[in-house]
Every structure is written in structure tokens, then in C-alpha cells.
Amino acid sequence: MNSTNTPTSTTTPTNNPKPTPHPNFTVCKPPHVPTLRNRSIFLAGSIEMGKAIQWQRSMEEVLSPYDLTLLNPRRGNWDASLVQDISCGEFRGQVEWELDCLDACTAIVMYFDPRSKAPISLLELGLYARSGRLLVCCPVGFWRRGNVQIVCERFGVPLVETLEQLVEGVLERVGEKGVGGK
């Protein structure tokens, strides 16, 4: 950061600006329990392997210059063959990690990829629409876009249509005013 608290950047060999990470910037993924000592953002939304884009990586890079913790539920080693039942310890641990982090974070960023169904993300939208901590991106083409639009309108949740707008909205929230409504 420079003297005006604006993140500085370096240039990569391809001359693309790469942000200088803040020393306290942290990314936490399950099953690791996060230590939330600063502002925190949960990256909710489409994570279907092979369908949804890995938008979380872009968020990690863009937000790395800030003093915050990103809570990313997307595991690189997720076993899709796990029984999705409360009796399956690994499955239960993932769901409880997500719910605990959603409850504890200061902001929730949610992306609905048009190539995915994202039923759990729709559930999370319903659970946290009243929280005042959501920022949602739902592009044209998402199969339940109308439902997302109506829920966001009803509960005053900011809604954007593109990943670029989502990044802008997150960066605006991360500014000096802090993150989220908590």
C-alpha cells in the first residue's frame, strides 16, 4: 500500500499488473478452521467441478492487496463420490465448515455461473438474503435468474450481471468503509 492506502502493484514478465499481497491477506479452505482477525469475505456460488469457472482464483488475486481473509469453500481435492448424507463425516464437515464461515464472515460474495445449477448457492442465498452482507452476481443465462433477481430485489441485496461488475462491487466494499454490514 502507498501513503494513500491504495494497493501498489508490480509488473509480471508479461507486463500484466500483479497486485502486491498484503502481509495479512489469507485464503482459508476447508477443512482448515479460519482465524478471523480482520475483515472476511466468503466466496459463495457455483463450484461444480467441470462446469463452473474457477472465479474464486480471480477474486483471490484481486483482493490480495487487502488486509482480509477470504473463505473459499472450493477444494481442489473434493471427492464427488462421497455419500451426501449427514452420516458421512467428510461431507458433513464440508457443509458445517461452510455454514460456520457464512455465519462468521463480514461479507458474502456470490456468483451464479450460467453453466451450473448451483442448488446449494440458491439455498445459501435464501439463508443469508436478510443479512445485509451479500453481493450477488447472476448473469443472463442462469437457469433460475428470475428467482435470484426477485429475492435480491425483495431483500435489498445488491445484484450485478457480470464478473467485472462483481469485482468492482467487492473492491468498493473493501475500501476504507470496510466490508459488509457486520
The answer as to whether 99 is a domain residue is: yes
pLDDT band at 8 (very low <50, low <70, confident <90, very high): very low
Longest dimension (CA), the chain: 53
- Given this model, what pLDDT does residue 78 score? 77
Q: What residues have CB less than 8 Å from 69, skipping those under 6 apart? A: 25, 26, 27, 28, 34, 35, 36, 37, 38, 39, 40, 41
Question: Could you read off the pLDDT of 78-122 as tens digits, one per residue?
Answer: 788 999 999 999 999 999 999 999 999 999 999 999 999 999 999
The structure's pTM equals 0.86
- Mean per-residue pLDDT of the chain: 88
For residues 46-57, give the mean pLDDT: 85
DSSP 8-state secondary structure symbol assigned to residue 11: E
- Residue 181 pLDDT exceeds 90: no
CATH number of the domain within which 55 lies: 3.40.50.450
Q: What is the pLDDT of residue 178?
A: 59
2 located within any domain: no
- Please check whether residue 9 lies inside any domain of the structure: no
Taking the C-alpha atoms of residue 166 and residue 172, their distance in angstroms, rounded to an integer, is 10
The pLDDT of residue 175 is 79
**pLDDT bucket at 179, cuts 50 / 70 / 90:** low
Which residues contact residue 31 at a Cβ distance below 8 angstroms, ignoring those fewer than 6 apart? 93, 94, 97
Residue 4 lies in a domain: no
Q: Is residue 95 part of a domain?
A: yes
In a domain, 182, yes or no: no
User: Three cell numbers at 131?
Assistant: 443479512
Owning domain of residue 145: 16-174
Percentage of the chain modeled with pLDDT above 90? 73
Q: How many domains does the chain have?
A: 1
The string of pLDDT tens digits covering residues 129-171 is: 999 999 999 999 999 999 999 999 999 999 999 999 999 999 9
How does pLDDT run across 27-48, given as a tens digit for each residue?
Answer: 999 999 998 988 999 999 998 7
- Is residue 179 a part of any domain in this protein? no
Task: Find the Cα–Cα–Cα–Cα dihedral 138, 66, 128, 125, rounded to 10°.
Answer: 20
pLDDT tens string 78-90: 788 999 999 999 9
Q: What is the pLDDT of residue 1?
A: 45
10 domain residue, yes or no: no
